[in-house]
Structure 1
């Protein structure tokens, strides 16, 4: 029997885990945790998912992670150690930096497992030991997580496209890259049997309309206006939302220092190392004076890690001009203004973090000079999902909201259906699986849309 089983993720956003089975061969795509604050009320908790997938002694040839967001990889520590894990090469490097910091506050360490992950490469068929009947080609896509992938899969004589999380309005989609990939018969046939597509934004249409920018390029242009209008610019953005971070860097005024801490600088360097040869924006900015715009890095005294990063950059052919800022040097470098990638204080019991201290210091000068650019989900600002650390950091300061979705808009999904012409369509990563067929955008494809039932199993013989 050949089938696809959605262990979780066909009727919710996040917490994804999808099994592909062909005879005795099985692989998993993603093994993600439920979104923060939702696990207790989830129909399938993280613990139950782990038991359902691995508690029956089922044998899996590999787990493929589409990208490094927690709702897709977050339960990796629960995967038996003898099962190979795969991820994109740049994504693995970024996740290694993130995990090193997470491990500081975790009893169960994860860095060794991350570093032992195998990597796949865009457009290159995967060679998985013991897997011969499930043929997988990873394809690089645009998402708010850098180095994300969709998968073209052939099994049981069927042609399947599994999108994972994707969009067509970020840096990786510029110059029509995404649609050129979709329309290339080299990787994806023009008429496939099954499209498994994310549908995150089907329930967030109002959010799309409320955003004043619809693409990362528009975000960059608008941020330039905001940065020019204020002296002390604090930016709240996910440390791994690299497209937005790179746009902020390239659109910061030449005369304002672009500032971050060492952790964020390491993540940025990994992104530049991995993507500079493919995406021109992932290269250091050249100013109007034909100089490389430096990145100012907040450092602790006696911290020698910056030299290690320089050496790694040199080995990878990367030059990122850097100015360290040690404690007590803030006035020298920051008094005249800045654009700073900041983070709220998650551990106030350890004392105020450096960003809070800098915010308080320059707020005392002239409150009107301070601006906080908020580039995250608005749900963190109020209501059930309010993040007290974020709202506490913002306080009464002037706030500019500037955020772009990491997910495909409904019209993007509709175009993907048109371009790939699938016989059947399974929505996932959505709260609107049952409603999708009734939406006006998908009226031409209503008969093809197949929401998953409670079993989560799709028998490929039905195609």
Structure 2
């Protein structure tokens, strides 16, 4: 089995891996670079047969983050696109609200441990802990060789038991491990990231110091974080307020243990821009589906001192107009680097102009170095190849002599 990493040997984001065996090919992920534009025609990797019908058999997506799926629209209707069942539902839910969303039409869905066959490739998804819901490592077998692609994973989320299970009982006889290294350069080598339970405690402390509404800027698709937020609200007597987009994403998980719009302690507020979109698209079924706990502007204003809003910049006008910002605090619960980008700077400026303090409560979606080392030692591959990292040169010192650093666009053999 031959491998070519199109992007990711020296970059976080835009991941794409091409496999070839016996005249057939398979793609793992087709992501958008972190600084990429999905319409930029010069950035996509050069891959033959994306429209389907040739020796390229399928595109397999490890999870739904844009840096892994953001160029999937380049796959034509003839190419099957495989992903987790919940991932597809979440992509469809998001597409109703996000203008530049793309949902593949020729799809194959899978669940953990369910092997897919794209002859001569057998692909087995392994459910992992990550900030994206329904995320998988991918075990690919062909020609008697075994490649394990870690995808993006961590050991400190609400699903940490999945990581520990992988360490206790890893797949054996791995010829090549493609191991993500996002945390290299972002964290001291012997340190670990805060757990989601610690983020929950951080929310509790911040809520206690906030007289007004808590504006929690977190991704609605970070299901672990929404769970931490809900638990913190219960502990502090606050109401968790969702918009219609967040309510739909949570419903799309299909998991009854995850907070839902009809649960006690949750309210649904439909902001102006979503009301306009619902009217334009005729999707009144969404309002009906999440109407049990719907609140309106005057109710939002009344509950502001005991509410926590899952917040995005587009909601600021609504809560400002509703008079909800007296004593408010914003809490940034995403990657800090987004605040340095133009959109983040505009948000920070708008909050400052309103006298709203900005605090932080976040942990990474990626494994710390000690956890990566535990995983690599447990799997013990013949060769370990860095991917999804800006610092491949640091891998040999951290992971040992079986590290082989590859370059983007270079073909190589899993058994080499």
Displacement of 1:243 after TM fit?
Answer: 0.6
The structure that is helix-richer by fraction is: 1
Q: Which residue of 2 aligns with 1:325?
A: 295
Deviation at 1:53, TM superposition (A): 4.2
Counterpart for residue 229 of structure 1? 209
Cα drift, residue 426 of structure 1 = 0.2
CA deviations 1:113-147 (Å, max 9, x no partner) are: 35x422111101113xxx32211101111111110
Secondary structure of 1:251's match? Answer: helix
| Distance apart, 1:393 and its partner CA | 3.9
Match of 2:331 in 1: 373
* Residues 41-97 of structure 1, C-alpha deviations (whole Å, 9 max, x = no match): xxxx76343444448986311101111111110111111210001111111111111
Contact 1:236 / 1:341 at 8 angstroms: preserved in 2?
yes
In 2, Cα distance between the equivalents of 1:208 and 1:161? 25
Distance in 1 (alpha carbons) for counterparts of 2:307 and 2:396:
48
Of 420, 426, 450, 2:404 maps to 450
* TM-score scaled by length of structure 2: 0.87
Q: Which residue of 1 aligns with 2:348?
A: 391
> 1:119 is matched with which residue?
109
Contact 1:33 1:46 (C-alpha < 8 Å) held by counterparts: no
- Aligned with 1:165: secondary structure? coil
Aligned match of 1:168 in 155, 166, 183? 155
SS of corresponding position for 1:35: coil
CA distance in 2, matches of 1:39, 1:305: 30
Q: Tell me, in whole angstroms, the C-alpha distance in 1 between the residues paired with 2:216 and 2:374.
A: 34
Alignment partner, residue 214 of structure 1: 194
Structure 1 residue 32: Cα displacement:
0.7
Q: Give the distance between the partners of 1:56 and 1:77, measured in 2 at CA.
A: 10
Gaps of at least 5 residues in structure 2 are none
| Shift in CA distance, 393/376, structure 1 to aligned 2, threshold 3 Å | farther
Picking from 228, 234, 245, the partner of 1:247 is 228
The answer to whether the Cα contact below 8 Å between 1:194 and 1:424 also exists between their aligned partners in 2 is: yes
In structure 1, what is the Cα distance between the partners aligned to 2:411 and 2:250?
A: 40
Does residue 421 (structure 1) correspond to residue 380 (structure 2)? The answer is yes
Cα shift at 1:110: 3.1
User: What count of residue pairs does the alignment treat as equivalent?
Assistant: 402
Q: 1:269 is matched with which residue: 251, 259, 263? A: 251
Distance 1:335 1:71, change over 3 A: closer
Query: Distance between the aligned counterparts of 2:266 and 2:51, measured in 1?
Result: 51
- Counterpart residue number, 1:76: 72
Q: Distance in 2 between matches of 1:75 and 1:378?
A: 24
Q: In structure 2, do the counterparts of structure 1 residues 59 and 372 end up closer, same or farther at CA, with 3 Å as the change threshold? A: same
Q: Secondary structure at the match of 2:92?
A: helix
Hey, what does 1:5 align to over in structure 2?
4
Find the residue that maps to 1:392 and give its secondary structure. helix
**Partner Cα distance (1:325, 1:21) in 2:** 54
- Displacement of 1:305: 3.2
CA RMSD of aligned residues (A): 3.0
2:324 aligned with 1:362: yes
The answer to whether the 8 Å contact 2:51/2:77 transfers is: no
In structure 1, what is the Cα distance between the partners aligned to 2:38 and 2:260? 40
| TM-aligned CA distance change 1:267 to 1:56, over 3 Å | closer
SS, match of residue 97 in structure 2: helix
Find 2:102's aligned residue among 106, 110, 128. Answer: 110
> Does the aligned pair in 2 maintain the 1:156–1:460 contact within 8 Å?
no
Once the two structures are superposed, what CA deviation does each residue of 1:399-442 show, in whole Å capped at 9, x if it has no partner?
Answer: 2211110011111110011111111000100011122213xx43
Q: Which residue in 2 is equivalent to 1:318?
A: none
Distance in 2 between the 1:9 and 1:240 partners?
Answer: 23
1:63 to 59, 64, 75: 59
Deviations 1:170-203 (A, max 9, x none): 1111xx3322134336xx12x4221111001112
User: Unaligned 5+ residue runs, structure 1?
Assistant: 286-290, 311-320, 347-351
